Chain A
Amino acid sequence: MTISYQLKRADFIFKNENDWEEVLSKNLSRTPSELINELISSELKGRGGAGFPTGLKWKLTAEVEDSIKYVICNADEGEPGTFKDREILSMVPFKVLTSMAICGYVIGAKEGYIYLRGEYFFLRPELNKAISEFEYYCKEINFDFSIRIFMGSGAYICGEETALFESMEGKRGEPRNKPPFPSNSGYMAKPTVINNVETLAHTYTIFKYGAKRFYDLGVQYSRGSKLFSVSGDTPKPGIYELELGMSLADFVDEFGDGDTKAVQVGGASGFLVPRKRFNETAIGFQGKLTGISLPTGGSMMLFNSSRSMFNVLDNYLEFFREESCGQCTPCRVGCQQLLKGIKAVKRGEKNAKYLDKLLRLTETMQVTAKCGLGQSVANSFSSIVENFREEMIY
C-alpha cells in the first residue's frame, strides 16, 4: 500500500529481524548508565498515551536501592480504537521480551510480567512458547531473568498503571494515589518499571540501531515513529507506523473516505477534531510552537458525515460509565450524570443551556478525579459538545 509523501512511513516495529539474541547479548555487555543515556538521548516517550520519557523512567527506577524490582509490560490495551499492541505481541514478541530483559538488567530486576488483557486470551499459548524459548536463551548466556504472563479479566481501568498493580496483587483494579510513583513503589510496593508494549518495541529499535536513528524521525518534542490504529469510516483500516508530527489534514487525505467530518484522536479518552481544525492540528506530544498538538496512544477513528456525533458521545459515555472503577465520586457520579444529561437534552427534557452545566461538570472532573480515566472524560465530552452543539440538541 502506498502512503503519500507528507505522511512519512516508517518500518521498524514489524520488520522481522530475527536477531534478538544478538541484540540482547550485545546490549547486556554495555553498562546500565550507557543504556540509559542512549534511551534518554533518543527522546522516546511512552507510547501508551501519557508520553512520559522512557529513559527517565528507567533511570529513576535504577537509582532506587532495592534487592527486588520488577519490569512490567502493559498489554491491557483497552482504549476504544486501539489494537496495535496485540499485533506487536503476535508478530514480533521477541522484541518486547528482549527489551524487558534489557530493562531488567538496567534497573536490577530479575522478574518481568506481561499483563495481558482477558480479551486477548487467545494470544497466550504462542506468547508462552516465545517466553520459554527466550528464557532458555537467557539461561544459556547466564543471564538471570524470567517473564510470566498475568491475565486480566476485562477491566479497562487496569491499563492505568497503579490499578494494574492492584489487580496483579489480587485486589479490585482501583487506581492508587500518586505519589508514590511506580519507580519507588509499584507492584508489591517494590520499584517497578511499567512500559507499554509499543514503547518496549521501540526501545529494541533504539538499542539495535542507536538513538540517532530514532531521534532523526519525527519533530521537536515528538521524536520517532508511532503505530497508528486506524478505524472507522476509512477505506483502509489497519495498523500503520508513521513519523510523529504529521498534520491531521495530511492524515485525512490519506486515510479519509473523502467525506470525513471529524477524527477522534486518542480514543474515547482523547479529543474529537472537526474538519475545520484538520489543518492546524498536528499529531504529537505537547510543546510544538504552532497550532494544536495532540498526543495519542495511536487510536485514530474517522467519522464521515453520515454519523451522528450525539451517538458517538453517547457511546463513549456509556463506555466510561461502565468502566469507571467507582472509587472516586467525581468519576463515578460524573459519568452517570453526563450520560443522563445529554439524553435529557436530546429528548427536550432539559434546555440547551444545560449543556453548559455539563461542561462545567467535566471541568470539575478534570480537576478532582483520582486518575486519568475520570480526568480525561472532559476531553472527548467538551470537544464534541463545543464543536457539534446543534447535533446534541436537535
Chain B
Amino acid sequence: MYPVSDLIRNLADQHGRNRHNLLPILQGVVEQEKYLSEYSMIEIARELDLPASEVYGTATFYSFLEHKKMGKYIIRVCKTITCSMKGKNQVLLAIQEMLKLDVGETTPDGTFSLLQTNCLGFCHKAPAMLVNNEVFTDLTPEKVRDILSAYLKKQKEGVSHDN
C-alpha cells in the first residue's frame, strides 16, 4: 500500500488538478484508505492548490466519503421504507449480535464497520445491504450471518496468508 501522499499525487496525475477533478480524487483516497483523514484532506488541498476548507466542505457533504477511520469492510444496511417494512431491524440486530457492535461503530480489530444508509434501490428484493461495493438482497438474519461468516473466514485466511 502506498503512503497517502503518494496515492494523492498519483490520483491527481491520473484525474487532473482542477477543481472538477476533486470528487474522483476523494473517492480514490476513500477506496484505499476507507476514510479521509484530516491529513489526506490537507494534502489534497495542497496538491490541487485549493483552500483546505473547500476540500473539507466537499468531502463532508457526501455520505460515502467517510471522515473517520472505518473498518476494512463497511456494512451499509438500507433503512428506507420498504427495507424497514420487510424486516431490516431483525437483520440489523443479527449483525449487531454477531459482530458485537452498534450502528456507527467499528470492530476493535478494524475488520467491520456498521452503518445504516438511505435507499439502495433494491426495494423489490428488500431488505438489502452493501458490504463495501457488493450488494446483498432478500436478507434474513440467517442469511446475513452466513454472509458475514464468509467475510470473517476470508479475513482470517488473508491474515494468516500475510504472516
Contact = CB atoms under 8 A, between A and B. Distances in A.
Do the two chains belong together in a single complex?
yes
Contact of B62 (A77, A169, A173, A239): A173
Interface stretch (A81-89, A328-336, A344-352): A81-89
Interface residues of B, number: 36
Interface stretch (B1-9, B93-101, B112-120): B112-120
A136 to B, nearest CB: 22
B134 A170 contact: no
A278 B133 CA distance: 39
B107 interface: no
A325 B19 CA distance: 20
A168 B117 contact: no
B22 to A, nearest CB: 3
A256 to B, nearest CB: 15
Nearest to A158: B62
A319 B119 contact: yes
Contacts of B63: 153-155, 322
Contacts of B62: 118, 152-155, 173
Interface in B18-34: 18-24, 26-27
B19 A81 contact: no
Nearest to A124: B133
A354 to B, nearest CB: 24
Contacts of A155: 61-63
Interface stretch (A176-184, A212-220, A225-233): A225-233
Interface string B49-86: 00000000110011111000000000000011110110
A86 B126 CA distance: 16
Contacts of A77: 121
A188 interface: yes
Interface string B96-112: 00000000000000000
Given A154-B117, A173-B62, A268-B81, A239 B23 contact: no
Contact of A86 (B19, B117, B121): B121
Interface of B: 18-24, 26-27, 57-58, 61-65, 79-82, 84-85, 117-126, 130, 133-135
Given A119-B117, A155-B62, A231-B123, 5 more contacts: A155-B61, A173-B62, A230-B124, A232-B82, A301-B82
30 contacts: A78-B118, A80-B80, A80-B81, A81-B123, A82-B119, A118-B64, A122-B134, A151-B23, A153-B62, A153-B64, A154-B64, A155-B61, A156-B118, A170-B20, A170-B21, A170-B58, A171-B58, A172-B58, A231-B123, A231-B124, A231-B126, A237-B123, A268-B80, A268-B81, A301-B82, A303-B85, A315-B81, A319-B118, A322-B118, A323-B118
Interface of A: 77-83, 86, 117-122, 150-156, 167-173, 188, 229-233, 237-239, 264, 268, 301, 303, 307, 311-312, 315-316, 318-319, 322-323, 325
